[in-house]
Structure 1
Amino acid sequence: MAGSPENAMVLSSTADEDEKQRESRSKREIISTLPTEKAWKIQGLMYQYQGFWYYSGGAVEGVMWMQKCFKARNEDVLLVSFPKCGTTWLKSLMFSIMNRTRYDFSAHPLLTSSPHELVPFLEFYAEQNIPFPDLDTLSSPQLFHTHIAFTSLPQPVIDSQCRIVYICRNPKDVFVSSFCFLSRWNIVVPLEEAFELFCKGISVYGPFWDHVLGYWKASLASPQRILFLKYEDVKRDSLCQVKRLAEFMGFPFSSEEEGQGLIHEIMELCSFENLRNLKVNKTGAISVGNVSTGKDTFFRKGEVGDWKNHLTAEMADRIDRIMEEKLKGSGLTFSDSCDS
């Protein structure tokens, strides 16, 4: 019968599918008009959306989806990072801090799951066509992660009181780590060519300086909502920074927990060496956007200053001069070591 519930459901489903197709066409039309540049890959283009570069049109669609659909709750915590700035480490630390009363260290999820599986990238849900869970069905708070710039964050995130943790790193190490990461796929252009693109601001989620400045200025304006961390500082004084991180997230360590050595247990569990040597991080693959890569690619060296083994003095000087110009007057600086 024309008016039956079954027919109504079919009509509703068809309407929803039509709407999805219209929305997909609209996104593709927008993407087709975006500026493009040669990617770090041997073949392919990068797309500039809202002033920042993405490695594919699918990645842009992921950002568009996040801007339309993601609505953080006040109690949630959002980790933001420029790629290759210590994301894997911070994911493991923040997950362990937030869930320390739920799991015993002998059966911790980090022993059997990659940090990227426990704290997935938000914008990858759309790119990989993964249904995003209804926040109303999830316990609060939740920990999420994204790479997108501050000016591209969804308005509901800006309007909420959710806490944002931002981690950045010396740009010379960022460039080298990014290049080595892509090199594992054997699809990257020569180092000199990738370096030229990076210096022009053309890198995934770049320009680097605009990305870090956006969150640096926001952290100065709203320190109660945005914690700005440097990878080098966390490496130099991990104990102090982990305590600072826990307090900011709303999960401060009690004096009893400190006395029991809980902070040190978390630091040991999440240490680079421990995570790298776990079977779960040495075997198997994980999707990064529309590419599958070995889990071991996320654990290369984790060192401060490894750029010295890859860049010439002229290259290093060029990046230093660019950063001095771009960050001038902001008060933001980067160190080449953990000692200063």
Structure 2
Amino acid sequence: MERELVIPKSYPINLIDKDWSKRELYFKKDSKDFLDKVHDLKVRDDDVWIVTYPKCGTTWMQELLWLLMNDCDFETALATDQEIRSPFMEFGFYTYGDADGAIQTLEDLSSPRLIKTHLPLALLPAQLWQKKAKVVYVSRNPLDALVSSYYHGLSWGFYYGQTMDQFFENEILRKRLVEETPIAHFAEFYRIRHRPWIYYTSFENMKDNLRGVIENVAEFLNKPITHEHMERLLKHLSFEQMKNNPTTNHLWERKIVNHPNAGKEDHKFVRRGKVNGYKDELKPDMIDKINCFINAELQKHDVTLENILLLKKEYNVFILSFGRSPPLDASGGHRKLKNKNKKSSPQIGRRTTLGTMREATLRLLLLIGIVLAGGCAAHLTKRSFSDQSVHGYTTERTCWWNEVCKEEFQSLFRCKCPQFSYCRSPGRYYNAYCSMTDTGYIWTQPNWDWGP
């Protein structure tokens, strides 16, 4: 697909204050009419949008969202292709060049709509940021996403006859990473992840704790689920079930595209679902080449891959700093630490283990002492300023430690801070976080009974 530099009708300056004129955006050639229609699209208050860079777990999250929005109707989910239940906004334009038809497909949907898109932040509908309909965003290790895109294109016929190396040299290094890097796509949504109408997660997070993600998404959508539904969701969304479910393998879309080489080399749409699976697929020199691009983009956007993929929980930053985990490379994996002692004995191994346990115990005791001391100091110290102007909450839930409890310029709290903590910020016009320290600018939170 031939792409060109595009300029949207307006930029989301109310979300991110930066020089948007320097943000290079590429899309399919001759797409101005389509992008203008997307920009002007009427967003409904009860819309839910699933936004991702391609091959980042979109289908997985999309299936979860649709089920939660439709009272866990597994029968319909198993009988109807996902693309029909929840359309891909760009599909009609990509396939037929039909801008009107692509938009009409969305307008014909009954509410509440679940809409999928791979567009970057600046090309999404302007009303999405005005009405603040719910947006779910999923990131993924770029190397895994790019490998997955190769097999996807191979099955659909686009890259038939190309080896993995040829694809990465011709398509990725010379085109895709130059035109629209995954990091730029990720970083912009990562910066606005604390907005109450955005749920940001990662493929890695879903793999690590699917149950927790289901619980969080259900809460985000205000869709309580029963224990029975939770167990069915876990089974339905398991890798084996998704892989063997024809309605989640995009067979309908592939049939519509009907590429002459489609199916000549066939791979399941849900193929491996493995974190860091690229290490088994790419040669080391190719990984190094891609990492050069990734590292440069990470530095440009002042973010780490560890943060983007939520590998380091924000509310555990202090605790994790005591763990001294091996540093992460640009691929998101831990760098191997060289072992100078090539030979070791069981006795040395036991001594090392005991030493490590003693060190960990001392660190834990030190941490407990610091927390207790900080807690005592917090109650003995007079507050610098107490702001009692905010009286309500956007969601009925308790925050995590060190989570944003109130965003800058917002008139409602995002959540209620845990007991013995305070919603604290450096000043009035800053994000406030749940903290045990009650000095600084304290936003006094009203008591709220969440009910049973």
Matched, 1:46 2:20: no
Matched, 1:170 2:137: no
State the shift of 1:61 in Å: 5.1
Q: Tell me, in whole angstroms, the C-alpha distance in 1 between the residues paired with 2:250 and 2:118.
A: 25
Q: Is the 8 A contact 2:80 2:247 kept in 1?
A: yes
User: Any idea what the Cα deviations from partners look like across 1:7-37, whole Å, max 9, x if unmatched?
Assistant: xxxxxxxxxxxxxxxxxxxxxxxxxxxxxxx
State the shift of 1:110 in Å: 1.8
Q: Where does structure 2 lack aligned partners over 5 or more consecutive residues? A: 8-23, 312-330, 335-452
State the shift of 1:279 in Å: 4.6
Matched, 1:242 2:209: no
Matched, 1:213 2:213: no
Label 1:235 to 1:225 Cα distance change in 2 as closer, same or farther (>3 A).
Answer: same
> Equivalent residue of 1:132, what SS?
helix
> Equivalent residue of 1:299, what SS?
coil
| Partner residue in 1 for 2:319 | none
State the shift of 1:151 in Å: 1.2
| Partner residue in 1 for 2:172 | 198
Q: Tell me, in whole angstroms, the C-alpha distance in 2 between the residues paired with 1:217 and 1:83.
A: 19
State the shift of 1:230 in Å: 0.6
Greater helix proportion? 1
AA partner of residue 77 (structure 2):
L
User: Any idea what the Cα deviations from partners look like across 1:173-218, whole Å, max 9, x if unmatched?
Assistant: 0110011111124432543343244345626982211111111112
Aligned-residue identity in percent: 24
Q: Is the 8 A contact 1:168 1:230 kept in 2?
A: yes
Matches within 5 A, 1:1-340: 45-50=2-7, 51-54=24-27, 56-57=28-29, 62-68=34-40, 70-100=41-71, 103=73, 105=74, 108-127=75-94, 128=96, 129=98, 130=101, 132=104, 135=107, 139-188=110-159, 189-196=162-169, 197-199=171-173, 202=176, 206-220=180-194, 222=195, 224-253=196-225, 257-258=226-227, 261-280=228-247, 284-287=251-254, 297-328=268-299, 329-333=302-306, 334=309
Label 1:183 to 1:133 Cα distance change in 2 as closer, same or farther (>3 A).
Answer: closer
Q: Is the 8 A contact 2:59 2:248 kept in 1?
A: no
Q: Tell me, in whole angstroms, the C-alpha distance in 2 between the residues paired with 1:95 and 1:75.
A: 13
Q: Tell me, in whole angstroms, the C-alpha distance in 1 between the residues paired with 2:64 and 2:249.
A: 19
State the shift of 1:309 in Å: 2.0
| Partner residue in 2 for 1:13 | none
Q: Number of residue pairs matched?
A: 283
TM-score, scaled to structure 1: 0.72
AA partner of residue 124 (structure 1):
F
Label 1:72 to 1:297 Cα distance change in 2 as closer, same or farther (>3 A).
Answer: farther
Q: Tell me, in whole angstroms, the C-alpha distance in 2 between the residues paired with 1:270 and 1:49.
A: 37
Bigger relative CO (Cα 8 Å, ≥ 6 apart): 1
Q: Where does structure 1 lack aligned partners over 5 or more consecutive residues? A: 1-43
Q: Tell me, in whole angstroms, the C-alpha distance in 2 between the residues paired with 1:168 and 1:60.
A: 27
> Equivalent residue of 1:184, what SS?
helix
Q: Is the 8 A contact 2:82 2:248 kept in 1?
A: no
Moved more, 275-284 or 301-310: 275-284
Q: Tell me, in whole angstroms, the C-alpha distance in 2 between the residues paired with 1:226 and 1:191.
A: 35
Label 1:65 to 1:97 Cα distance change in 2 as closer, same or farther (>3 A).
Answer: same
Label 1:87 to 1:49 Cα distance change in 2 as closer, same or farther (>3 A).
Answer: same
> Equivalent residue of 1:79, what SS?
strand
Label 1:201 to 1:244 Cα distance change in 2 as closer, same or farther (>3 A).
Answer: farther
AA partner of residue 230 (structure 1):
S
State the shift of 1:154 in Å: 1.6
Moved more, 82-91 or 116-125: 116-125
| Partner residue in 2 for 1:34 | none
Q: Tell me, in whole angstroms, the C-alpha distance in 2 between the residues paired with 1:155 and 1:283.
A: 29
Label 1:157 to 1:310 Cα distance change in 2 as closer, same or farther (>3 A).
Answer: same
AA partner of residue 270 (structure 1):
L
State the shift of 1:265 in Å: 0.7
CA RMSD, 1 decimal: 3.3
